[in-house]
Amino acid sequence: MDMIKVTLKDGSVKEYNKGITIKEVAESISAGLARVALAGEVDGKVKDLSYELNEDCKLNLLTFDDDGGKHAYRHTSSHILAQAVKRLYPNVKLAIGPAIDNGFYYDFDVERPFSVEELAQIEEEMKKIIKEDLKLERFTLPRDEAIKFMEEKGESYKVELIRDLPEGETISFYKQGEFVDLCAGPHVESTGKIKAFKLLSVAGAYWRGNEKNKMLQRIYGTAFSKKSELDEYLFRLEEAKKRDHRKLGKELDLFDIYEEGPGFPFFMPKGMVLRNILESYWREEHQARGYQEIRTPIILNEDLWHRSGHWDHYKENMYFTKIDEGDFAIKPMNCPGGMLVYKRRLHSYRDLPQRLAELGLVHRHELSGTLHGLMRVRCFTQDDAHIFMTQEQVKDEVLGVINLIDDFYNVFGFKYHVELSTRPEDSMGTDEQWEMATNALKEALEAKGMNYKINEGDGAFYGPKIDFHLEDSIGRTWQCGTIQLDFQMPQRFDLSYIGPDGEKHRPVMIHRVVFGSIERFIAILTEHFAGAFPTWLSPVQVKILPLIDKHHQYADEVRAELEAKGIRVEVDWRNEKIGYKIREAQLEKIPYMLVIGDKEMENRAVAVRSRKDGDLGAMALKDFIDRIVKEVRTKAK
């Protein structure tokens, strides 16, 4: 019998008979591995355990600790959800049900939304299906037979999906018990493999994300290999609800979004204090690193967006207007304006690198169903910079941006991981340019000694990118900073510089952001700190609490001394009990409360209560001022 060589994750090579399944390979290694293996990665592609190996290959056996294993596990959970719904509601039509980050969902065409009580019933039916331990069996049909098969089942959404596939395509399905679903896989072996799951919520979702299509009902859920992991995740979800920036934004009077402007945020005075602190810090750090700040218009004519490529690649996300009978667009990105600033005059190689930074307001059309507080809005300020350089300067400039982003995130106490995204299908430029750009980013990451994950096909249409994903205090990740290397835009705008040889050369360009957007970063900060910002970021740093009216004059003197040192302070003048005033200040998450009574007034002291450390007792006013000034100066967390 023909033999094949299988190279395992540890580098060892084993020989097997052709036609051996991934499951059988796992069993040949160890019974324990076979029990926990959920899928296999064959030459980079995730496959079912029943997949037969017929050629020499590299094989990585996947457990729940691997992304591919999690995906198969949660994808199977979505099929169990769909089967449960079909059992309980036979007339429901199925749409799609993928695995997603931290869970899964399935879309259903139903007459009315599912209730909370119905979710509980669906969960119980899912438990029955898991207990039945139904085997997941893959089979294929030719395209015409697949269409007929789904038409007979009345699954019109599945028929539409199949019709969109190319002629001659073989269509795969998965069967578990009486339930069959159109699916490319992969899945775990049987429904009994799912150990812990929970349905989380129901939301409306347009079919295929198009608001012109029918609104479907989307059930979200999550699944883990252990109940303890599920419990921990559910705890984090509850914690996230308490930290929801939309809730805290209103309670702390920072920001809000009104129905008069869906997706267009309002910042209140305290929110503007926080925003201005972030922008001031941004300016200080950029000026210190050789950036020059610019400002470009919000509205620019249609021709510019054709030149930049946005008209062909981004038009559906843009807003348009007419001025003097001409067609204009409200900018969705700052980069074309940055091109014009660079092109205003001739540059020498001695002028490079040129780092142009901009806090630019952009507008993007987002579907109403995707809007989410400050996380997903229709207008926001990007902290952009465009760096123009020679080919030889690319590595050093990328490293400089990496260092800048690292310094920023450390100030706020964020951990992060890095991902490198490569060429998408819808892209501009030659293979050679893309290879050169991608290799330049890889070299910079490797020179910095950074671990990174590759996201194939997830780059921008004009170049590959490095994305920085922050981890907040409850373990969630957020994509914020990005470094995008661009050989296309300088070419489309005919940018140049005069080289040492006296000839014109094309510069290379980096697009980069640190915060990502000011609005989104404020949302992340609000949830990360649960609204209890460090003292240097707090809109109000000190609340003075006089006991009675006769202490008001000294309270005002304390306020004046604090303000003279740049401390943001308020006085609670109300005729209320001190316990009530303290509770109110605590709800406002003020870092320091200064209680003032007779003793404090006589000794020019203050009784200090810290949000973080509790009652600190009496303290000379000067000593308190020294303490808080140092805390602000060092940006203590």
Which residues are catalytically annotated? 335, 364, 382, 384, 386, 465, 511
Structure tokens at 560: 């004046």
Does 71 appear as a known binding residue?
no
Closest listed residue to residue 162, CA positions, set 180, 182, 187, 132: 182
Angle at 54 between CA 53 and CA 58, to 5 degrees: 55
| Pairing status of strand 504-505 against strand 477-486 | unpaired
**DSSP states of 201-242:** EEEEEEGGG-TTSPEEEEEEEEEESSHHHHHHHHHHHHHHHH
Element (H, E) at 187: none
- Spatial neighbors of 152 by CB under 8 A, at least 6 apart, are none
Closest listed residue to residue 302, CA positions, set 280, 324, 272: 324
- Spatial neighbors of 524 by CB under 8 A, at least 6 apart, are 245, 470, 472, 478, 480
| Pairing status of strand 103-109 against strand 215-224 | antiparallel
Structure tokens at 112: 């009315």
For tokens 């490529």, name the residue.
309
Amino acid 330 reads: I
Beta bridge partners of 4: 16
Q: Is the peptide bond preceding residue 353 cis, with omega within 30 degrees of 0?
A: yes
Cα separation, 244 vs 44, in Å, equals: 38
Does 183 appear as a known binding residue?
no
- Spatial neighbors of 406 by CB under 8 A, at least 6 apart, are none
Task: Confirm if 190 and 134 have CB atoms less than 8 A apart.
Answer: yes
Cα separation, 521 vs 515, in Å, equals: 6
Taking the alpha carbons at both ends of the chain, their separation in whole angstroms is: 66
Question: Given 3-state DSSP classes, what are the helix, strand and coil percentages for the chain, each rounded to the nearest 5?
Answer: 40, 30, 30
Q: What are phi and psi of 236, to 5 degrees?
A: -65, -35
Q: With 0-12 CB in 10 A as exposed, 13-18 as middle and 19+ as buried, what is 137?
A: middle
Amino acid 231 reads: D
User: Taking every pair of C-alpha atoms in the chain, what is the biggest distance, in angstroms?
Assistant: 100
Does 511 appear as a known binding residue?
yes
- Spatial neighbors of 163 by CB under 8 A, at least 6 apart, are 147
Chain CA centroid to CA 592, Å: 33
Q: Which residues are annotated as a binding site for Zn(2+)?
A: 335, 386, 511
